[in-house]
Amino acid sequence: EYWRTRPVYNPDVDVLSPSATASEQNIANQATAEGGWRFKVAVYTESAAGVPAGEEQYWSFAGENGAIDWNMVPAGLESEKEFLSQKHRLQWMLPQAKAYGFTKDEKYVLAWIEAWKSYNTAFPVPEGTTSAVEWSGLQPCCRMNDLQNVLPYYIHSENFTPEVLFYVLRTSYDHIESIRKNLTDDYTSNIRLSQEQSIVTAGLLMPEFKKSSEWFEEGAQAISDQLTAQFNEDGVHNEFDI
């Protein structure tokens, strides 16, 4: 009950007048057992080119006995590095949460709980540093940044039990601590900036953790430094990314 009424405001989430586009609802519906555990991964779709927006069909991660096969790779994409890395960012989570906020259909929160537990069981947090794709680079910080925006939608669900909350909090803590141990060496890269963003955001939005002040102070200083480190003297971004 505390977590449902705590005085922490996330400006990126609109729970008072939630909305979900047709495309977001399509993503949400497919990312369920009934939808075949078809998860959106970047721009990759199983459907042919030219399908109208909002009607794309994504690749199925359905395994045996209704389980999710997170190691699934579609034929022809075995060497596609972007697919192999971005599937670990769980980019379908936020559209599914928005669909829940818009419809209040409990199938979405139930699907997300099952998938989140399944993923963290398949890829447990490593100890110390790691080069595993699922726990390095943009992958864990993208998951964590989206998780912060997912929680306000789901926290009021009757299926969001104390057990689920504890699991979400534990995996959130594990994510942030692992990100801190695996910061990319390139300080001026967009990857490093995204990692620092996830750390400072967790410090702001999860002040209940004993390490939250560390996360905030560490991340805030890094973000401040990045205001100059990310740009060349002429004001152009150092990666030439408009």
**Could you tell me the pLDDT band of residue 49, with boundaries at 50, 70 and 90?**
confident
40-44, 86-90, 165-169, 233-237: the lowest-pLDDT one = 233-237
Which pLDDT score, from 0 to 100, does residue 47 have?
80
pLDDT at 65: 87
Nearest in space to 150 (alpha carbons), one of 112, 122, 120, 206: 112
Residue pLDDT, tens place only, 8-32? 999 999 999 999 999 999 999 999 9
- Assess whether pLDDT exceeds 80 at residue 50: no
Scan for tokens 């192999």, then name that residue: 84
pLDDT band for position 242 (cuts 50, 70, 90): confident
Mean pLDDT of 43-66: 87
Ramachandran angles phi, psi of 41, nearest 5°: -130, 105
pTM > 0.85: yes
> Please, are residues 41 and 87 in contact by the beta-carbon 8 Å criterion?
yes
Upper half-sphere CA count for residue 172 (Cβ side, 13 Å): 26
Confidence band (pLDDT; 50, 70, 90) for 241? confident
Rounded Cα–Cα distance for residues 119 and 116 (Å): 5
Calculate the average pLDDT of the chain. Answer: 95
Are the C-beta atoms of 59 and 74 separated by less than 8 Å?
A: yes
Closest of 54, 56, 62, 58 to residue 40, by C-alpha:
58
- Percentage, residues of the chain above pLDDT 70: 100
